[in-house]
């Protein structure tokens, strides 16, 4: 079973979420007509150094890459800019490296304290779920020390250049990366942070060296809260009235609830349908790069509809 197969079953049995194929086709035609650019890997907010240190940075980044939406909004100042969300996370960790804090050392992760994290992520407000992030990082740090001598590069090398194999290794070997759910008695795989970790390694190394992976096309979109918000805004995702009312009223959806699972599964398959529509127009992009394009749109376009609220460590 893989992410596509398991989420397809959800889409086929959805009750509250649907994909508008006409809107999907229209979006593909708009991109083909107006042109678009796949975002480059950012060099300003992400640390880059020796390969083994860069690999640890990406693991650190994606271990902590979840849930930025709590209020009050957390922001930091970095190089004259005010950043929030994911960009604030990346810049905070890069700032910590520049300040000599040993955030690339998994021994440091294994013993990180609440106050340590408070300093690393200092800014306006507090990073959401700081305590949970510390606990997760300690467990991941200990696992990396015990199994791989603190070097994530060893996990990467064990995959022998295969993106699917690396994804499987991460989901099995790195704690808190096995992102799954149960829907009507069926196991559903999402692996959001595990997949984005593989894609981020590919991006950070420009698809070369440690980032030279075969079968990157096997990755799907990364089912989070921002992508479905963008897809709903574009008319691609449609919510039944009871669900739409909940989301618009900012009512929380429990992690693993049928509503949340349907949103995430339909997000993955909306991107799959968009990929197929683009391919028919002569544009051949893997799902993960379409995800990057949609996420980048969500950072720039006004969004009238709120995203769904699910408190989770997985996205």
Distance between CA atoms of 9 and 23, rounded to whole angstroms? 22
Backbone angles phi, psi at 297, to 5 degrees: -60, -40
Task: Name the catalytic one among 224, 248, 284, 296.
Answer: 224
CA dist., res. 216 & res. 230, Å (int): 24
The answer to whether 224 is a known catalytic residue is: yes
Mapping DSSP onto H, E and C, the string for the chain reads CCHHHHHHHHHHCCCCEEECHHHHHHHHHHHHHHCCCCCCCCCCCCCCCCHHHHHHHHHHHHHCCCCCCCCCCCEEEECCEEEEHHHHHHHHHHHHHHCCCCCCCHHHHHHCCHHHHHHHCCCECCCCCHHHHHHHHHHHHHHHHHHHCCCHHHHHHHCCCEHHHHHHHHHHHCCCCCCEEEECCEEEECCHHHHHHHHHHHHHCCCCHHHCCECHHHCCCCCCCHHHHHHHHCCCEEECHHHHHHHHCCCECCCCCHHHHHHHHHHHHHHHHHHHHHHHCCCCCCHHHHHHHHHHHHHHCCCCCCCCECCCCCC
Tokens read off for 215: 């079968």
Residue 7 to residue 4: CA distance in whole angstroms: 5
Report yes or no: 134 and 114 within 8 Å, Cβ to Cβ: yes
Q: Report angle CA 250, 303, 46 to the nearest 5 degrees.
A: 100
Just list the catalytic residues.
Answer: 224
């Amino acid at each position: 079973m893989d992410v596509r197969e398991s989420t397809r079953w959800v889409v086929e049995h959805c009750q509250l979420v649907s994909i508008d194929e006409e809107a999907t086709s229209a979006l593909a035609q708009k991109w083909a007509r107006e042109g678009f650019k796949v975002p480059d890997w950012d060099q300003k907010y992400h640390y880059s150094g020796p390969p083994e240190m860069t690999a640890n940075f990406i693991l650190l980044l994606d271990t902590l890459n979840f849930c930025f939406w709590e209020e009050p909004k957390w922001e930091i100042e970095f190089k004259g800019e005010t950043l929030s969300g994911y960009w604030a996370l990346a810049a905070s960790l890069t700032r910590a490296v520049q300040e000599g804090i040993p955030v690339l050392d998994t021994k440091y992760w294994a013993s990180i304290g609440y106050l340590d994290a408070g300093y690393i992520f200092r800014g306006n407000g507090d990073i959401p779920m700081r305590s949970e992030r510390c606990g997760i990082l300690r467990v991941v740090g200990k696992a990396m020390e015990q199994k791989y001598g603190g070097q994530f590069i060893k996990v990467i090398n064990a995959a022998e250049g295969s993106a699917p194999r690396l994804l499987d290794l991460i989901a099995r070997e790195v704690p808190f990366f096995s992102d799954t759910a149960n829907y009507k008695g069926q196991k559903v795989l999402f692996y959001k942070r595990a997949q984005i970790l593989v894609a981020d390694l590919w991006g950070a190394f420009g698809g070369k060296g440690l980032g030279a992976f075969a079968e990157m096309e096997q990755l799907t979109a990364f089912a989070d809260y921002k992508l479905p918000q963008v897809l709903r805004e574009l008319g691609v995702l449609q919510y039944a009235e009871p669900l739409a009312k909940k989301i618009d009223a900012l009512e929380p959806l429990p992690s693993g609830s049928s509503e949340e699972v349907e949103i995430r599964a339909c997000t993955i398959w909306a991107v799959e349908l968009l990929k197929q529509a683009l391919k028919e127009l002569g544009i051949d992009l893997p799902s993960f790069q379409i995800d990057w394009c949609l996420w980048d749109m969500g950072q720039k376009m006004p969004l009238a509809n709120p995203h769904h609220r699910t408190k989770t460590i997985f996205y």
